[in-house]
Chain A
Amino acid sequence: MEQKDRVEEISVRHGRPPVMAPGYTFATITDKISSIVLTRPVSLGWLMGVGFASLWAFILLFAVSYLFYQGVGIWGVNIPIGWGFAIVSFVWWVGIGHAGTLISAILLLLRQSWRNSINRFAEAMTLFAVACAGMFPILHLGRPWLAYWLFPYPNTMNVWPQFRSPLVWDVFAVSTYFTVSALFWYQGLIPDLATLRDRAVNRYARTIYGFLAMGWRGSARHWKRYHTAYLLLAGLATPLVLSVHTVVSFDFTIAVVPGWHSTIFPPFFVAGAIYSGFAMVLILAIPIRHFYGLEDFVTIRHLENSGMIMLATGLIVAYGYIMEPFMAWLGGNKYDLYQFWDRAHGPYWWVFLSLITMNVVIPQLLWIPKMRRKPGWLFLISLDVLIGMWIERFVIVVISLHRDFLTSSWGMYYPTRWDWFTLLGTVGFFFMCMLLFLRVLPMISIFELRELLPEAEVKVES
C-alpha cells in the first residue's frame, strides 16, 4: 500500500506533473546523471558557451586591471552618487544567491521532495553568485589591495574594525554565507563523489573523485551522522540566509538618506532576493534540462513551483513598493515625500517606470497556469525579473542618493563603459563557472534522487 501511495505522490498529485518521470531505478538514475560527467563527449555548444562566457570573464579581468591602475575615477561614481554600479551589482548578486540556500535548506526542512533534483545546481549557483557579489565591495574600496583591513587581525597599527558599522557586519555576513554554502554543497557532494569514483573508468578521474570523496563507503553509521549533520546545517543555513540580505539592507537603513532610512527594508530585501534568485534558477534550469535531456528529473512541476515562488515573492516586493511611499506619506517627512515624488517625476522617471513594469506588471502573467508550464515563457519572464531586480537596486542606490537634503548637492549619475564591462564581466564569469561545474560535478544530487524512488521505502514497521 505504502509503495503505491509513494508512486502516486511522485507521479500525479492533484493532476499536477510529476516530480520525476516514472520507470527509473537506482541504477538508471545513477548512470544517467554520472554519465554526463564521466562519458558524455564535450559538445560544440558547450565549448562555444564556455568560450563566450570566458571572453566576458577576460573583459572583467581587463576592466579590473585598469581599475587597479587608474582608480575608481574610471567609473561614473562621484559625489553625491558615491555608490554606483558596484553596490547595485553587489546587492543584485548576493540576492541571486539566496534561492540556492532556500532550495537546499529551507525546502529540505519543509520536506519538499521536489527540491531534490534542483538543489545541487542551485547551490552551485549560490556559490558563484556570491563570488561575483564579493568582488564588488572590494573593487569599490578605492584601495582594494587593503581589503584585508576589513577583517579583525592583529596588526602593527593596533586598530580593529568598527563593529558598530553595518559595513563591517556585511563583511561577516557575506563571508559566513559563502563559507556555509560551500560546506553545505560539499557535504551534499560527498556520496555522489563516491559514486563517480566507483563509476569512473579513467584512472585520473577515479583518483581525483576518490580523493574528494574522502573514502566515503555508505556505511550505516556514517549515513546516520551524515543525515544529522545535513539537517543541522540546513537548520543553521535557514536563519543565515534570511540574515544575509537583512544585513545587506542595514547598509542602507542605518544611514539617514531619504529612501534608505526605512524599517521595511530587511523583509523587502529578503523577498526581492528570493524573487531574483528563483528567476536565475529558472534561467539555468530551462536550458540545462533541455540540452542535457534531463526533462525526466527537472520536470514541468519544478518549473511550475519555481514560477509560483516567484509570483509570491514578487507580490511581497510589490507590497514593499506600495508601503515605501505610504510610510513616507504617513510619516510626513518632506524629504522622504520628495524622494518618492522624484522617483516617478524626476530625471530618472523612466528607470522607475521600467522597474514597475518589469517587476510588478509583467510577472503577473505567472497567475496563468499555462504560462507557468511553458518553459519558453517562464524563461522570458525570469529574464525580465532578473533585469527588473537589478533596476530595483539601481533605483534604491542611485535615485536615493542623487537628490537628498540640500539642492546644492544634487547631481546625476552616468555609468561609464568600465561600469558596464565590470557588470557584464561578472555575468560572464558566473556563466563560465556554471558551465565548468556542469562538466565536472554531478549537477543533480544522485543520492537524493534515489531516495525519491518507491523502492527506497523500507517496508517493515520499526
Chain B
Amino acid sequence: MSRVPVYGLLAEFDNPTDLLLAARRAHEEGYRKMDGYSPFPVEGLAEAIGFERDRMPLVVLVGGLLGCAGGYLMQWWMSAVSYPINSGGKPYNSWPAFLVVTFEVTILCAALSALFGMLGLNGLPMPYHPLFHCPRFEFATRDRFFLCIEASDPRFDLAGTRRFLEGLSGGHGISEVPY
C-alpha cells in the first residue's frame, strides 16, 4: 500500500501571538524547513522561523544604481557622442540639464526591481502549491494563522511531528498537507 506523499503538517492558530510562539518552539525543537502563514505581516515571525537574509534592499540598490548610470550614460551618449547638437552654446555634455532624467530613470529602475525583485525572490507567480489542497488553508487570507512543518525537514516524522504540534498551546487542529 502506497501512501500519498506528504508535503508537511499544518497547524492552525487563531491569533498571531500563538503562531509566533509556536514558530519559536518549533525552531528550538530543531525544525528548519517550515513556514508561517498569516493574513497580514506578523512582526518577528520571519525571524522566528529562521529567515534572516532579506536581500530586497540589495536588489533595489543595484536596480537604482544601474538606472542612475544607465540614465545618465544614455543622455551623454545621445547628446554628446551619437548626434551632438550645439544648443544655445551649451556644452554637449550638459550635465546639470541631464540630472532630471537621470533621477527619473533611477527611481523607475529601482521601483521596477522592488516589485519584480520581491516577486522573483518569493518565487511568484506560483499558481500551484500543495498547501492549496488544504480546505482550511483558504482562511489564511482571512483570519487564521498557520504553521507548516515540511516533510523535507530532516527531523520530520509524521507521528512525532504531529505529537509536537498537538502539544503547542493555542492550536486549533492539525491537518496533513498532501502533494
- Which A residues fall within an 8 A CB radius of B? 25-27, 30-31, 152, 158-164, 166, 168-169, 172-173, 176, 179-180, 183-184, 186-187, 191, 194-195, 197-199, 210-211, 214-229, 232-233, 236-237, 239-240, 243, 247, 250, 447-448, 450-451, 455-460, 462
Contacts and interface: CB of A to CB of B under 8 A. Distances in A.
Contacts of B78: 152, 160-161, 163
A97 to B, nearest CB: 16
Contact of A172 (B42, B47, B104): B104
Contact of A225 (B44, B54, B104): B54
A237 B41 CA distance: 22
A224 B48 CA distance: 12
B111 A183 contact: yes
A173 B106 CA distance: 11
Given A30-B142, A458-B43, A187 B115 contact: yes
A30 B98 CA distance: 47
Nearest to B94: A164
Given A195-B142, A247-B100, A239 B107 contact: yes
B40 to A, nearest CB: 5
A164 B97 contact: yes
Nearest to B41: A223
B41 A232 contact: no
Interface in B79-94: 79, 82-83, 85, 87-88, 90, 94
B118 A229 contact: yes
Contacts of A226: 41, 118, 122
Contacts of B143: 25-27, 30, 450
B151 interface: no
Contacts of B103: 239, 243
A162 B141 contact: no
For chain B, give the interface size range. Answer: 35 or more
A453 B142 CA distance: 13
Contacts of B119: 214
A168 B101 CA distance: 8
Nearest to B112: A183
Nearest to B59: A229
A155 B123 CA distance: 38
Contact of B38 (A161, A223, A460): A223
Contacts of B171: none
B128 A233 contact: no
A197 B137 CA distance: 12
A218 B104 contact: no
B38 A180 contact: no
Nearest to B143: A26
Contacts of B166: none
B165 interface: no
B40 A447 contact: yes
A220 B36 contact: yes
A172 B101 contact: yes
Given A27-B143, A169-B100, A229 B124 contact: no
Contacts of A197: 141
Interface in B34-63: 35-49, 51, 54, 56-57, 60
B174 interface: no
B125 A215 contact: yes
20 contacts: A25-B143, A160-B82, A163-B94, A169-B101, A173-B100, A179-B112, A180-B108, A191-B141, A195-B39, A217-B140, A220-B37, A220-B38, A220-B48, A226-B118, A233-B111, A233-B114, A233-B115, A243-B100, A247-B104, A459-B17
A227 B135 CA distance: 27
B8 interface: no
Contacts of B85: 162
A218 B37 contact: yes
A216 B124 contact: yes
Nearest to B115: A183
B1 to A, nearest CB: 31
In the A-B complex, list the 4 residue pairs whose CB atoms are closest, starting with the nearest. Answer: A26-B143, A214-B125, A224-B46, A160-B78
B169 interface: no
Contacts of B108: 176, 179-180
B20 to A, nearest CB: 6
B19 to A, nearest CB: 9
A30 B39 contact: yes
A462 B20 CA distance: 10
A27 B40 CA distance: 12
B14 to A, nearest CB: 9
Contacts of B112: 179, 183
A26 B142 contact: yes
B33 to A, nearest CB: 12
B41 A224 contact: yes
A215 B122 CA distance: 10
B126 interface: yes
Contacts of A229: 56, 60, 114-115, 117-118
Given A159-B83, A176-B108, A220-B45, A215 B54 contact: no
